[in-house]
Structure 1
Amino acid sequence: MNLQRFIDAKQDELEGLRRAKAAGLLRPKDIRQRPDFLQALRAPAPAGQPLRVIAEFKRSSPSMGVINDSLTPEDVARQYAEAGATCMSVLTEEKYFTGCVGDLSRAVIAGLPLLRKDFIFDELQVRQTVSTPAAAMLLIVALTPDASLLRGLREMAESEGIHAVVEIFNERELEIARESGARILQVNARNLETFKTDREEGLKLAALRRPEELWIAASAMSEHAHLVDAKGAGYDAALIGTALMQSSQPGKNLNRIIQS
């Protein structure tokens, strides 16, 4: 099972976090320093831009291997800010995405609200996120299908000024996310068990969006037309990653997708 290997890969990291907590090293940052992730995405998109965009920094992925390991978080963050990104997603998972938590502190230089993307399922990981400049963090229903646990992690993050983005793949996971009280929902067009993508199914799922929710379309977003389709389906924002990072100048790729 693909998801179990992600959980297994986190065990050594969790042990390190236990030691860090005991030593008093997991200290929260002043929440006044965090930009408001939700407010940024709720603002109307600039003229000519179908949706607000979360642009992603990642060096590799389980499905593609190495994507781009030559760029720094600082450089990419600046490029994204100049190209019109609203927020920036940073992959911090080490084993399969070759990221690290320190990338958040490096990416904050451009001033974009940062989303920490990782396999988060334990309160210690939330504490760790609170000690970073992240404005939001990802929770994945497929990884944490217990609504009460999801609620606890979400509420813990939000009590420290960090928004929880809850990722779903299908209608069943949407029900779990809503039971947990989630209001920011990210629909991943990629099945984390098979890594197959189905953008059309993700678009159809948006018909279930409620007015009080903010919906983000993720995976298989690589063209301006994809943003237009997502907007038409009812999405509020889109997350773009691989299509940007495959270039030596991801900011130019972002500008092309947003404005073309």
Structure 2
Amino acid sequence: MTTILDKIIAKKRETIENLYKRKEELKTRNQHLKKKSFVEKIKQADTLAIIAEFKRASPSKGDINIDKDPTEQAKMYELYGADAISVLTDTPFFKGTYEDLAKVRETVNLPILCKDFIIDKIQIDFAKHFGADLVLLIAAALDDETLDELYTYATKLGLEVLLEVHNEEELDRALKTDAQLIGVNNRNLKTFEVTLETTEKLARKIKESGRYMVSESGISTFEDIVKVTSCGANAILVGETFMKASDLESKMKEMKVAVKAEIK
């Protein structure tokens, strides 16, 4: 049975063909931006780190906030205490672009994550050239050889990697790399069902490995924050909740809580 992830990856191969046609653009953008490390931010933080996401739409929710300006949203994210900003650059399913990434880079002095379904080195090249400090690699979308190849390529370019997993099998594969940032996606990318129990199930093994854990998806309330911090999350990635918030400042401050060291 074809899953949503299968459809996204199939479409992504068409996008990659277009990126190779646009390769000349890479020669004209500034590659000498000062690196901003999200790993260092987490190391020094005594509160839960927040990756605030600019996300116009998604396959599961449809349009979220289609007319939102990335520059204005990024300014607010930085003002209200975000530790990093994630920018969706997938166009067919999330209505994002590399130009959104560039606008955010020009606006804020924070680490920026290029969030996409990366399956080819050319996507990492575009992410770096448009201003990303981190890239997302999704274990479910990559075999072991490609995962290792893309991880190595990204880090050699000076990028940090958020390596995303959804289950224990994917986590075991991720822990074979040197990735310091392990993202636990509470959304199953094959069914798009969401449960915070995913973070709870995988937390202990991640923490025992000495990596930093980022809980992603399905986080919208203070109760959700308590749940993920109590099992050891160092950071959260939040998109839809922030993009829809009528009082963004209050919502972000609600989530900026002390990190709990113990794992229940």
Do Structure 1 and Structure 2 share a fold, with TM-score over 0.5?
yes
Match of residue 42 from structure 2? 41
Once the two structures are superposed, the pairs formed by residues 71-150 of structure 1 within 5 Å of their partners are: 71-108=68-105, 109-144=107-142, 146-150=143-147
Match of residue 223 from structure 1? 221
Matched residue pairs, number? 254
Structure 1, residues 152-209: CA drift from partner, whole Å, max 9, x if none?
1011111111111110001000011122332210000110111111102322210112
**Alignment counterpart, residue 203 of structure 2, candidates 206, 211, 232:** 206
CA separation of 1:107/1:252 partners in 2, compared to 1, >3 Å: closer, same or farther?
A: farther
- Separation (CA, whole Å) in 2 of partners of 1:32 and 1:25: 14
Letter in 2 for 1:236: N
CA contact (8 A) 1:35 1:135 kept: yes
Tell whether 2:171 aligns with 1:163: no
CA contact (8 A) 2:53 2:237 kept: yes
Structure 1, residues 91-133: CA drift from partner, whole Å, max 9, x if none?
1110111000111111121211100111101111111112121
Letter in 1 for 2:39: L
CA contact (8 A) 2:33 2:131 kept: no
CA separation of 1:173/1:162 partners in 2, compared to 1, >3 Å: closer, same or farther?
A: same
Pairwise CA distance, 1:13: 1.9
Structure 1, residues 1-60: CA drift from partner, whole Å, max 9, x if none?
211211121233211222233x47357744552211211222223xxx4x1111111011
- Separation (CA, whole Å) in 1 of partners of 2:116 and 2:185: 14
- Separation (CA, whole Å) in 1 of partners of 2:127 and 2:28: 10
Letter in 1 for 2:26: L
TM-score (norm 1): 0.91
Q: Secondary structure at the match of 1:74?
A: helix
CA separation of 1:172/1:71 partners in 2, compared to 1, >3 Å: closer, same or farther?
A: same
Match of residue 60 from structure 1? 57
- Separation (CA, whole Å) in 2 of partners of 1:254 and 1:63: 23
Identity of paired residues, percent? 32
Letter in 2 for 1:198: T
- Separation (CA, whole Å) in 1 of partners of 2:30 and 2:226: 37
Q: Secondary structure at the match of 2:22?
A: helix
Q: Secondary structure at the match of 2:145?
A: helix
Q: Mark the runs of 5 or more structure 1 residues left unpaired by the alignment.
A: none
CA contact (8 A) 1:26 1:128 kept: no
- More displaced stretch, 220-229 vs 194-203: 220-229
CA separation of 1:133/1:24 partners in 2, compared to 1, >3 Å: closer, same or farther?
A: closer
Letter in 2 for 1:231: T
Q: Secondary structure at the match of 1:142?
A: helix
- Separation (CA, whole Å) in 1 of partners of 2:25 and 2:109: 28
CA separation of 1:103/1:32 partners in 2, compared to 1, >3 Å: closer, same or farther?
A: closer
Letter in 2 for 1:42: K
Match of residue 262 from structure 2? none
- Separation (CA, whole Å) in 2 of partners of 1:181 and 1:28: 29
- Separation (CA, whole Å) in 2 of partners of 1:97 and 1:246: 15
Aligned CA-pair RMSD: 2.0
CA contact (8 A) 2:26 2:126 kept: no
